């Protein structure tokens, strides 16, 4: 879908919608236009933004400065802010001096539920789920795969490091890692259910 | 009692697993339908489980298409 049309549709709903609260305002051009407009407009509707990662974004090289600026101009200018953890709340306070309330990240536990009676894996299965970016450290899965050749490793996700990881697997002949790519909900649930260990080596994020 | 109307700036398409969208969906699911009326955006098939299978009905409020492309639709969940 053309992005400009999407932006226009969302912006129009921001302006003309009958809502009293605009919640979960995203870092987007539509949000930026709306927040600029309401500065000079007696719009009494409440805006609520959520912050779900640490706020020292400039320390993460894969996030463009333009994206950080847009985030600062949108989410951080909401009337109220939620953080998804105490670490994020503290980061928001220390980086920007902004207060927020903690609303933990939600999980559909009816959908993402363990299998009660699963046939044990013949080899230990280790799962990584997330975007393939430096701060998520997916390369540690390859390190672990080399160190533990009797275990199987699954990487679910995609991102800028995908080709680099694939190249390393080929160069080092790593055979006990499977790239699952981006998965639909049911497939992802299956991977979670079949895994023995979830490896989450991210050094930077929102849950801590 | 008049319910508070909330527009959630997120997409509620079925199968979208972006962490932020998932979180927005879970928050929507937990809002009391007696107190809140929630609308959000959707490009393709909405995840009706947001509202629960029996408690709510999803109403398509503003469907739009142009040049064969789907534009975001706004879905409203009501008790």
Distance from CA of B44 to the nearest CA of A (A): 11
CA distance B39 to B28: 9
Q: Spell out the per-residue pLDDT of chain B, length 79, in tens.
A: 788 889 989 887 777 777 777 778 778 777 887 788 888 887 777 776 665 443 444 444 444 333 434 445 555 554 3
Three-point CA angle B58, B60, B62, nearest 5°: 150
Cβ–Cβ under 8 Å, residues B28 and B38: yes
Q: What tens digit of pLDDT does each residue of A3-48 get?
A: 677 788 889 889 988 889 999 999 999 999 999 999 888 888 999 9
Averaged pLDDT, A102-126 = 88
- Specify burial of residue A119 (Cβ count, 10 A radius: 0-12, 13-18, 19+): exposed
| 3-state secondary structure (DSSP) of residue A185 | helix
In chain A the domains, ranked by start, together with CATH numbers, are 3-102 (no CATH), 125-198 (3.40.50.2000)
| ipTM field | 0.77
Q: Which residue did the predictor score with more confidence, B60 or A144?
A: A144
Domain span at B13:
4-78
pLDDT at A124 over 70: yes
Q: What tens digit of pLDDT does each residue of A35-93 get?
A: 999 988 888 899 999 998 888 888 777 788 999 999 999 999 999 999 989 999 999 99
Least CB–CB distance from B74: residue in A2, A13, A22: A13
A59 Cβ under 8 Å from any chain B Cβ? no
B35 Cβ under 8 Å from any chain A Cβ? no
pLDDT of residue A205: 65
pLDDT of residue B46: 72
Count of structural domains within chain B:
1
pLDDT at A181 over 60: yes
- What residues 63-122 of chain A have any CB closer than 8 A to a CB of chain B? 84, 103, 105-108, 111
Distance from CA of A197 to the nearest CA of B (A): 20
Integer angstrom CA distances of residue B10 from A10, A28, A157: 10, 11, 21
Least CB–CB distance from A1: residue in B17, B39, B69: B69
pLDDT at A203 over 90: no
Q: Which residues, listed in sequence order, are joined to residue A74 by a DSSP beta bridge?
A: none
Output helix, strand, coil percentages for chain B, rounded to the nearest 5.
20, 40, 40
Integer angstrom CA distances of residue A91 from A30, A81, A98, B59: 26, 13, 9, 39
pLDDT at A151 over 50: yes
Least CB–CB distance from A105: residue in B10, B23, B66: B23
Beta strands in B3-72 (DSSP E): 4-11, 36-42, 57-60, 65-66, 69-70
- Chain B: residue nearest A75 by CA? B9
Distance from CA of A117 to the nearest CA of B (A): 26
pLDDT at A2 over 80: no
pTM strictly above 0.80: no
Indicate the average pLDDT of chain A. Answer: 90
B60 Cβ under 8 Å from any chain A Cβ? no
Residues from chain B that touch A50, judged by Cβ atoms under 8 A, are 20, 23
Cross-chain residue pair A28–B10, CB shorter than 8 Å: no
pLDDT of residue A208: 54
pLDDT of residue B16: 72
Distance from CA of B52 to the nearest CA of A (A): 12
């Amino acid at each position: 879908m053309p992005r400009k049309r999407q932006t226009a549709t969302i912006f129009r709903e921001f302006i003309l919608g009958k809502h009293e609260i605009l919640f979960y305002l995203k870092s987007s051009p539509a949000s930026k236009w709306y927040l600029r407009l309401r500065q000079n407009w007696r719009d009494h509707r409440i805006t609520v933004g959520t912050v779900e990662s640490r706020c020292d974004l400039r320390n993460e090289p894969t996030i463009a400065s333009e994206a950080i600026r847009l985030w600062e101009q949108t989410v951080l200018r909401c009337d109220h802010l939620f953080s998804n953890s105490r670490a994020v709340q503290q980061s928001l306070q220390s980086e920007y001096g902004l207060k927020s309330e903690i609303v933990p990240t939600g999980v559909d536990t009816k959908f993402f539920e363990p299998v009660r009676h699963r046939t044990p894996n013949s080899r230990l299965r280790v799962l990584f789920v997330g975007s393939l970016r430096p701060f998520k450290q997916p390369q540690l899965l390859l390190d672990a795969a080399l160190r533990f050749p009797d275990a199987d490793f699954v990487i679910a996700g995609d991102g800028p490091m995908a080709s680099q990881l694939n190249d390393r697997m080929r160069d080092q002949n790593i055979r006990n890692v499977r790239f699952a790519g981006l998965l639909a909900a049911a497939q992802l649930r299956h991977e979670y259910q079949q895994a023995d260990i979830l490896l989450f080596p991210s050094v930077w994020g929102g849950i801590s | 009692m008049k319910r508070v109307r909330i527009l959630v700036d997120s997409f509620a398409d079925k199968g979208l697993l972006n962490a932020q969208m998932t979180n927005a969906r879970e928050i929507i699911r937990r809002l009391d339908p007696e107190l809140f009326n929630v609308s959000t955006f959707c490009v393709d098939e909405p995840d009706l489980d947001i509202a629960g299978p029996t408690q709510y009905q999803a109403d398509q409020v503003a469907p739009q298409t142009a040049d064969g492309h789907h534009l975001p639709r706004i879905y409203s969940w009501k008790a």
